[in-house]
């Protein structure tokens, strides 16, 4: 009673806001139980009969599941291999530019794609890569190559996804590394120059080691999202021809779950994904904490 | 000594060249899109590079603006930008301010409960069932209500509120001000930069979001701009409309490119503000987590 009187106004404010979290973030957890039920719309979530782990057994026996898992893992692996280092390289290059004006110009341009929606990005990508209207066909023509229908070939799908991710967040991702590079004490650079170190020696011996703490934290944090591909990006680029290499867990759940009404089965896949994601991010956080001796980490 | 000089020139030259090339790759599509959207039918259908419009005409835009769902899409997007951002700010402040007071009960547990929503997600199907149970399917409210609960933004706001000196608040309390008064008269005026940053995050999210539209809304008059443009650009759904009203329709390419321009306009208008506030915002977000 005393706390209510003392904090009355604050409690009211907080409860108003917390209600949103309870309803929209904890609310779905109730629906998760249908992964263990045979959900029928007419019976409702509670009225549908329990089936235990039947959906999970079905899942682990289906070839679809392994295709989705493989696509999701491979896509994320390539993202980590190519899209993760790209902003670091950009920041290092940008840091070598002496003209502040040019630096600012490059940053201003390179941030722009981050704010453009995936609808626009993907739409333009499809347009530019098209064998009939696109400029890619022209560029290939200069080298005497036949145009290729990139969006309709399953072997190009992953490259297109990774490439468009790089293009979209290259500039934006470099902000944090660029800030870390700007924080290096200029005296270290000056004494290295006096000692006769050239540009590459300075980059490799001074710049890269100085931003390593930032790089390692970003790396481990990006491991946390290893099982979640970017739905908004992939749904726009995907078509039935590229399902074999491009279909990931979320696009499958959307298509089979919501459009073909297999709610329980796809809820089981979704739960699997959420649980693995949770374990990954907790593990990643623990690693960050260990590496930085408790200084960093999300909590 | 001679090789050193040669190296000193060639390395910066390569760096400038690579960076300029990257900038060109980013800028060129905007030039191409603008050029094709204003070009005549023959020119728009020509493949290859386009640097400026030829056979200049507005027809693609006129045609596009006659399409009723562009207007409803704009209205719905503006609705979710304004209402969604205001609601997000309200919920964020209401959650973060009490949690920033040192004597608020059960603070740690409540922060953990909010944090947990950042790392665990029920998944697409349970979220869909919830929206269905709440009767929010095919309602514009589905654009603004669920996104108002954003744990990351609460944490950023919380860390800002904590940085306000306690003495300031204590002084006001001794003068007899109550919590609400302190919030509105002292804390919020001091927090304007953070509020602007979070508000812009939310605005950009609302301009670009279409996943909630795709999952929960099937009534076309309630589609947001992105989803309308998605149908034109990716699913090629505008063609039947233009061929029905026009004997010689503009090239589908011009229409598509015009829809790209119309759709990116809000972001381009906001871009200077975004640049000013976002760089700092990313630093708050990534360093403090």
In a domain, B30, yes or no: yes
| B76 and B195 inside one domain | yes
pLDDT value at position B239?
66
The residue range of the domain holding B48 is 9-56
| pLDDT interval class at B136 (50, 70, 90) | very high
Examine the pLDDT at B44 and tell me if it is beyond 70. yes
Q: Which among B89, B104, B114, B99 has a CA at the least distance from the CA of B162?
A: B99
pLDDT value at position B283?
59
Q: Total domain count for chain A?
A: 1
In a domain, B228, yes or no: no
| B43 and B170 inside one domain | no
| B106 and B40 inside one domain | no
For residue range A85-131, list pLDDT tens digits in order. 999 999 999 998 988 899 999 999 999 999 999 999 999 999 999 88
Q: Do A132 and B22 touch (CB under 8 A)?
A: no
Mean pLDDT across B81-110? 93
Counting as low any pLDDT under 50, the low residues of chain A are none
In a domain, A4, yes or no: no
> Domain of A151: which CATH number?
1.10.3720.10
Q: Do A32 and B123 touch (CB under 8 A)?
A: yes
In a domain, B242, yes or no: no
Examine the pLDDT at B285 and tell me if it is beyond 70. no
pLDDT value at position B259?
92
In a domain, A271, yes or no: yes
* Out of A201-210, B8-17, B82-91, B239-248, least confident range: B239-248
Examine the pLDDT at B241 and tell me if it is beyond 60. yes
In a domain, A16, yes or no: no
| B163 and B47 inside one domain | no
Q: Do B271 and A115 touch (CB under 8 A)?
A: yes
Q: Total domain count for chain B?
A: 2
pLDDT value at position A297?
58
In a domain, B227, yes or no: no
Q: Does A283 touch chain B (CB under 8 A)?
A: no
Q: Do A29 and B210 touch (CB under 8 A)?
A: no
pLDDT value at position B261?
93
Q: Which among A57, A67, A62, A61 has a CA at the least distance from the CA of A36?
A: A57
pLDDT value at position A7?
73
Residue B49 gets the label, from left (phi > 0), alpha (psi -120 to 50) or beta, of beta
The residue range of the domain holding A148 is 59-292
Angle between helices A100-115 and A85-96 (to 10 degrees): 160
d(C-alpha B156, C-alpha B288), whole Å: 8
In a domain, A11, yes or no: no
| B140 and B207 inside one domain | yes
- Strand locations in chain A (E): none
| B185 and B85 inside one domain | yes
Select from B189, B216, B243 the last residue of a domain.
B216
In a domain, A280, yes or no: yes
In a domain, B267, yes or no: no
Mean pLDDT across B172-179? 85
Q: Token pair 């003495």 is at which residue?
A: B167
In a domain, A221, yes or no: yes
Work out the angle at residue A235's Cα, subtended by the Cα atoms of residues A229 and A236, and round it to the nearest 5 degrees: 125
| B168 and B36 inside one domain | no
Mean pLDDT across B190-201? 88
**What's the pTM?**
0.87
From B11, B94, B204, residue closest to A199, measured CB to CB: B11
Q: Do A254 and B32 touch (CB under 8 A)?
A: no
In a domain, A279, yes or no: yes
Percent of chain B predicted with pLDDT > 90 = 46
Examine the pLDDT at B289 and tell me if it is beyond 70. no
Q: Token pair 């015009």 is at which residue?
A: B258
Give the DSSP letter of residue B191.
T
Q: Do A277 and B29 touch (CB under 8 A)?
A: no
| B50 and B131 inside one domain | no
Q: Does A77 touch chain B (CB under 8 A)?
A: no
| B115 and B181 inside one domain | yes
pLDDT value at position B282?
60
Q: Is the ipTM of this complex over 0.95?
A: no
> Which of A6, A11, A14 to mutate to test binding with chain B, by most B CBs within 10 Å of its CB?
A14
Is residue B74 within 8 A of residue B225, CB to CB? The reply is: yes
| pLDDT interval class at B81 (50, 70, 90) | very high
d(C-alpha A264, C-alpha B45), whole Å: 47
Is residue A196 within 8 A of residue A162, CB to CB? The reply is: no
> Domain of B164: which CATH number?
1.10.3720.10
In a domain, A169, yes or no: yes
A31 to chain B, minimum CA–CA distance in Å?
5
Examine the pLDDT at B162 and tell me if it is beyond 70. yes
């Amino acid at each position: 009673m005393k706390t209510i009187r003392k904090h009355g106004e604050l409690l009211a404010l907080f409860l108003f806001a917390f209600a949103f979290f309870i309803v929209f973030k904890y609310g779905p957890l109730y629906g998760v139980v249908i992964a263990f039920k045979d959900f029928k719309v007419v019976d409702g979530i509670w009225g549908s009969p329990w089936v235990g782990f039947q959906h999970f057994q079905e899942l682990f026996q289906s070839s679809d599941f392994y295709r989705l898992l493989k696509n999701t893992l491979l896509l994320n692996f390539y993202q980590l291999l190519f899209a993760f280092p790209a902003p670091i390289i950009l920041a290092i290059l940008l840091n070598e530019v002496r003209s502040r004006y040019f630096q600012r110009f490059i940053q201003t341009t390179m941030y722009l794609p981050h704010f453009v929606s995936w609808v626009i990005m993907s739409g333009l990508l499809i347009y530019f890569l098209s064998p009939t209207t696109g400029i890619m066909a022209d560029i290939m023509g200069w080298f005497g190559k036949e145009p290729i229908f990139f969006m309709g070939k399953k072997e190009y799908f992953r490259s297109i996804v990774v490439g468009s991710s790089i293009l979209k967040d290259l500039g934006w991702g470099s902000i944090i590394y660029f800030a870390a590079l700007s924080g290096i004490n200029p005296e270290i650079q000056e004494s290295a120059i006096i000692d006769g170190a050239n540009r590459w020696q300075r980059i490799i011996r001074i710049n890269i080691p100085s931003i390593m703490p930032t790089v390692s934290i970003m790396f481990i944090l990006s491991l946390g999202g290893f099982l979640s591909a970017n739905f908004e990006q992939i749904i726009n680029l995907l078509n039935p021809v590229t399902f074999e290499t491009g279909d990931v867990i979320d696009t499958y759940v959307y298509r089979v779950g919501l459009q073909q009404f297999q709610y329980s089965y796809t809820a089981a896949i979704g739960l699997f994904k959420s649980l693995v994601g949770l374990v990954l991010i907790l593990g990643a956080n623990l690693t960050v904490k260990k590496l930085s001796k408790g200084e960093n980490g999300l909590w | 000594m001679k090789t050193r000089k040669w190296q000193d020139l060639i390395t910066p030259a390569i760096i400038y060249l690579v960076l300029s090339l990257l900038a060109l790759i980013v800028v060129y599509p905007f030039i191409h899109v603008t050029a094709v959207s204003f070009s005549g039918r023959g020119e728009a259908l020509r493949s290859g590079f386009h640097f400026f419009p030829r056979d200049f005409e507005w027809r693609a835009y006129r045609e596009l603006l006659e399409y009723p769902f562009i207007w409803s899409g704009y209205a719905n997007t503006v609705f979710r930008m304004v209402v969604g951002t205001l609601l997000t700010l309200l919920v964020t402040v209401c959650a973060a301010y009490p949690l920033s007071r040192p004597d608020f009960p059960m603070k740690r547990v409540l922060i953990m409960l909010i944090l947990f929503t950042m790392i665990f997600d029920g998944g697409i199907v349970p979220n869909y069932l919830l929206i269905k149970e709440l009767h929010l399917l095919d309602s514009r409210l589905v654009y603004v209500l669920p996104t108002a609960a954003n744990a990351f933004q609460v944490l950023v706001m919380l860390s800002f509120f904590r940085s306000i000196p306690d003495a300031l608040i204590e002084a006001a309390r001794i003068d007899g001000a109550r919590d609400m008064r302190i919030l509105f008269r002292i804390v919020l005026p001091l927090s304007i930069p953070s509020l602007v940053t979070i508000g812009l995050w939310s605005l950009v999210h609302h301009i670009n979001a279409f996943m909630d539209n795709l999952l929960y809304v099937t009534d076309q008059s309630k589609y947001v701009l992105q989803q309308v443009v998605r149908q034109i650009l990716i699913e090629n759904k505008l063609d039947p409309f233009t061929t029905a009203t026009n004997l010689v329709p503009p090239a589908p390419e011009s229409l598509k490119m015009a829809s790209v321009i119309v759709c990116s306009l809000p972001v381009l208008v906001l871009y200077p503000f975004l640049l000013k506030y976002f760089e700092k915002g990313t630093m708050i977000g990534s360093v403090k987590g």
